[in-house]
């Protein structure tokens, strides 16, 4: 029976690793659809951002109460899963609590710490479920934000429920184990750990059960916990919770320029410098690519990583002045639409091969002109994002395509562009009259 259990465990582990690796390769391939963008400068600054923003969740603490609960879930889930290593070794080798003897008295301390964190995760997840479904926090509601439809709302609830179940299974496993230890049943009686700080309160409910029932309960909780971890790891690659992994590279490769800095298009910058005599025109003019972006291939790989990293928390949208005044723009929707476009391309690859092409584009079929024109480029969304995502960068590139490639801009914009060209100011008056307004200020 033990050998069969080991074989089944190894098979489950190998299957999970294969499926997760396959999904990771696909996501990497999809992100690489984006154009090149060098993000290797200032490594010390980038590492600092990753440590403070991704690991330390610095930007989350603009809203302290929610941030504290999120930190408990995040730290708790990561640290508790350190004991997954022991479970994996036990499953492969057919042992029970393999780290007990090597760690000695440190072992109970670690498990007690894990249990406290597990209880904290359960409490925090319950609070988050209440916020989503009872008090109905506005930025998380599909009735208020069209992008938060059935699946995004269900996805958030599923993860919270699943985390509660995983942590509960961990505590139930420890409680059943402790009771079996006290009875000296089989190998349970050989690995004496005693009761633990949280699961000890579950033990009285298990005392009436027979040894066989408790062994079944302990094994069922053990299997559910480890298979649940494997399933969770695979599920997050399809979920917004992929940010658990991508938050680290996404913050490391984040934009280091000051807020408000807009990247010039190299081809345009070069042309202007040549006109001003700051550069010599090349003998062989370089081929000018597309101005701005029409589809995901025109965006940078970092823009596409942003889309996969989005937590759908809605902080960007809740801080967006255009959205607050009833405009169609939602920065969160920009990121979700970009990811949806990438997922549709993936589906096409699976169905039609790597050469798949369709007639859809990100601009027009997913993101509308109305959304783009509503943006004030205030950077509020960029400032609020807890993992340094920039919806504004995507908006600007799509808007540049409409204006520069298709000459589609509101009449008021065209008038401003003309004034900038002829008068070097947004207003229609001669440059030598620019300071006339200040004459009345002279004493």
How does pLDDT run across 231-283, given as a tens digit for each residue? 999 999 999 889 988 999 999 999 998 888 888 877 777 777 877 777 777 77
Q: Which of the listed residues 226, 252, 278 is the one where a domain comes to its end?
A: 252
Query: Does residue 427 lie within any of the structural domains?
Result: no
Residue 86: inside a domain = yes
Q: How many domains does the chain have?
A: 2
Same structural domain, 238 and 366: no
Q: What pLDDT does residue 370 have?
A: 93
Residue 43 falls inside a structural domain: no
CB 229 within 8 A of CB 9: no
Asked, for residue 45, whether it belongs to a domain, the answer is no
Q: What whole-number percentage of the chain has pLDDT above 90?
A: 51
Q: Please check whether residues 111 and 231 belong to one and the same domain.
A: yes
pLDDT range class, residue 1, cuts 50, 70, 90: low
Domain housing 313 = 292-417
Kindly report the CATH number assigned to the domain that includes residue 358: 1.10.1060
- Do 159 and 69 belong together in one domain? yes
Give the pLDDT band (50/70/90) at residue 64. Answer: confident
283 falls within a domain: no
Give the three-state DSSP class for 300: strand
**Section 34-38 average pLDDT:** 91
Distances in Å between the Cα of 225 and the Cα atoms of 84, 102, 163, 312 are 9, 23, 10, 27
Residues 355 and 235 in one domain: no
Do 212 and 308 lie in one domain? The reply is: no
Q: Are residues 244 and 340 in the same domain?
A: no
Whether residue 80 is found in the same domain as residue 131: yes
Structural domain contains residue 271: no
Alpha-carbon span 33 to 26, nearest angstrom: 11
The two structure tokens encoding residue 357: 């092409």
What is the rounded distance in angstroms from the CA atom of residue 330 to the CA atom of residue 294? 19
Q: In the predicted model, what is the mean pLDDT of the chain?
A: 88
Residue 392 has pLDDT above 80, yes or no: yes
Q: Do 19 and 119 share a domain, yes or no?
A: yes
Whether 7 and 109 map to the same domain: the answer is yes
Distance CA 330, CA 372 (A): 10
DSSP 262: -
Is residue 238 included in any domain, yes or no? yes
What confidence score (pLDDT) does residue 280 get? 79
Asked whether residue 212 falls in the same domain as residue 306, the answer is no
Q: In DSSP terms, which residues pair with 367 in a beta bridge?
A: 363
Give the DSSP H or E segment for 394: helix 391-400
Of residues 24 and 287, more confidently modeled: 24
Query: Does any domain span residue 392?
Result: yes
pLDDT in tens, 333-353: 999 999 999 999 999 998 888
- Reply yes or no on whether the pLDDT at 357 is more than 80: yes
Q: Are residues 236 and 134 in the same domain?
A: yes
Domain match, 321 and 398 both = yes
């Amino acid at each position: 029976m033990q050998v069969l259990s080991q074989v089944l465990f190894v098979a489950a582990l190998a299957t999970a690793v294969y499926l997760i690796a396959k999904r990771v390769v696909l996501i990497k391939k999809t992100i690489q659809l984006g154009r090149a963008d060098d993000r290797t400068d200032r490594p010390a600054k980038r590492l600092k951002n990753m440590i403070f923003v991704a690991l330390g969740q610095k930007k989350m603490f603009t809203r302290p109460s929610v941030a504290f609960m999120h930190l408990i879930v995040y730290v708790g889930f990561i640290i508790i899963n350190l004991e997954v290593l022991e479970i994996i070794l036990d499953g492969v080798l057919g042992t029970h609590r393999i780290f007990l003897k090597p760690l000695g008295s440190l072992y109970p301390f670690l498990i007690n710490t894990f249990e406290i964190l597990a209880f904290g995760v359960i409490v925090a997840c319950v609070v988050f479920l209440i916020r989503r479904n009872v008090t109905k926090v506005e930025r998380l509601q599909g009735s208020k934000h069209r992008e938060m439809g059935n699946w995004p709302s269900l996805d958030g609830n599923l993860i919270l429920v699943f985390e509660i179940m995983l942590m509960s299974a961990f505590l139930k496993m420890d409680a059943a184990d402790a009771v079996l230890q006290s009875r000296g049943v089989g190998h349970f009686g050989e690995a004496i750990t005693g009761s633990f700080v949280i699961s000890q309160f579950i033990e009285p409910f298990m005392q009436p059960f027979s040894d066989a029932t408790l062994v079944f309960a302990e094994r069922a909780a053990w299997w559910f916990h480890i298979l649940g971890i494997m399933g969770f790891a695979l599920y997050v690659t399809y979920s917004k919770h992929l940010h658990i992994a991508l938050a680290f590279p996404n913050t490391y490769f984040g934009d280091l320029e000051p807020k408000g800095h807009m990247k010039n298009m190299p081809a345009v910058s070069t042309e202007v410098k040549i006109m001003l005599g700051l550069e010599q025109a090349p003998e062989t003019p370089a081929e000018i690519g597309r101005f701005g972006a029409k589809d995901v291939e025109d965006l940078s790989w970092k823009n596409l990583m942003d889309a996969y990293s989005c937590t759908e928390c809605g902080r960007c949208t809740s801080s967006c002045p255009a959205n607050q005044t009833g405009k169609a723009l939602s920065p969160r929707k920009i990121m979700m639409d970009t990811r949806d476009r990438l997922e549709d391309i993936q589906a096409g690859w699976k169905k039609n091969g790597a050469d798949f092409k369709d007639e859809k584009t990100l601009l027009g079929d997913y993101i509308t002109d109305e959304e783009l024109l509503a943006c004030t480029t205030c950077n509020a969304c960029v400032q609020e994002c807890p993992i340094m995502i920039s919806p504004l960068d995507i908006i600007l590139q799509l808007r540049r395509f409409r204006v520069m490639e298709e000459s589609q801009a509101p009449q008021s914009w065209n008038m401003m562009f003309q004034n900038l060209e002829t008068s070097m100011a947004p207003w229609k008056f001669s440059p030598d009259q620019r300071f006339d307004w200040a004459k009345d200020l002279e004493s």
